[in-house]
Structures are given as structure tokens and as C-alpha cells.
């Protein structure tokens, strides 16, 4: 009887120690995921700036092609412009999704009052 109680106490202490280590590992993984999300959003914003510059250049070139009456070039630039605008909208959607993921990760990480 004594050995059974003692082994139950050891198992209980082991389980508590393991759960604490698992929780610490979970926080580490959450922080790493959060850093990855921040990095992803930074890259997306840089790509967004490049796309906006490309769209502005395409609009200027489209205006010039229309002004000179070059229909073939205008049609090609228009196609490129639409492709870039679709990519821009998809990237904006991706940024919104990533920012939502960041808020959710921050809430999960800091919900217990842990700010390290």
C-alpha cells in the first residue's frame, strides 16, 4: 500500500513537471510563430510597395500608349495592369489574414499575463 501511494505521488509530480515543460515549449513555439508572422507581413508590405509602383508605371505607360494611338501596346499594358491589380488585391487579402493571425497569436501568448 505504501509503495502504491508513493508511486502515485511520483507519477503525479512527473506529470506536473512534464506539463510545465510542455507549456514552456508551447510558448516558445508561439513566439517563434509570431516572429514568423511579423517577418511575413514585412515582406508582404515590401512586395505591396513594389506592386503599387509597378501599377503606377503601367498606368503612365498605358496613358502614353493611348495618347500616341498605339492600340497593340495599350492592350498589352492593360493586360499587365489587370494582372498586377489582381495580385495587389490578393496580397492585401494575405496581409489582412496575416495581421489577424498575429492578433490571435498575441492574444494566445499573452492571455495568462505573460509578457516576456
DSSP letter for each residue of 51-71: HHHHHHHHHHHHHHHHHHT-H
Write down the mean pLDDT value for the chain.
83
Q: How confident is the model at residue 34 (pLDDT cuts 50, 70, 90)?
A: confident
Coil/strand/helix, residue 27: helix
Q: How confident is the model at residue 21 (pLDDT cuts 50, 70, 90)?
A: very low
* pTM passes above 0.75: no
Q: Rounded to whole angstroms, how far apart are CA atoms 96 and 101?
A: 9
Q: Are 98 and 37 in contact (CB under 8 A)?
A: yes
Q: Rounded to whole angstroms, how far apart are CA atoms 63 and 79?
A: 14
Position with higher pLDDT, 105 vs 78: 78
Whats the size of the chain, residue-wise? 116
Amino acid at each position: 500500500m505504501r509503495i502504491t501511494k508513493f508511486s502515485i505521488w511520483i507519477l503525479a509530480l512527473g506529470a506536473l513537471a512534464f506539463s510545465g515543460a510542455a507549456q514552456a515549449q508551447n510558448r516558445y513555439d508561439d513566439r517563434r510563430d509570431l516572429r514568423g508572422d511579423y517577418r511575413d507581413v514585412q515582406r508582404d508590405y515590401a512586395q505591396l510597395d513594389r506592386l503599387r509602383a509597378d501599377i503606377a508605371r503601367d498606368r503612365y505607360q498605358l496613358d502614353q500608349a493611348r495618347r500616341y494611338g498605339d492600340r497593340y501596346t495599350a492592350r498589352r499594358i492593360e493586360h499587365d495592369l489587370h494582372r498586377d491589380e489582381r495580385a495587389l488585391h490578393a496580397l492585401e487579402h494575405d496581409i489582412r489574414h496575416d495581421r489577424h493571425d498575429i492578433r490571435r497569436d498575441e492574444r494566445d501568448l499573452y492571455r495568462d499575463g505573460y509578457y516576456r
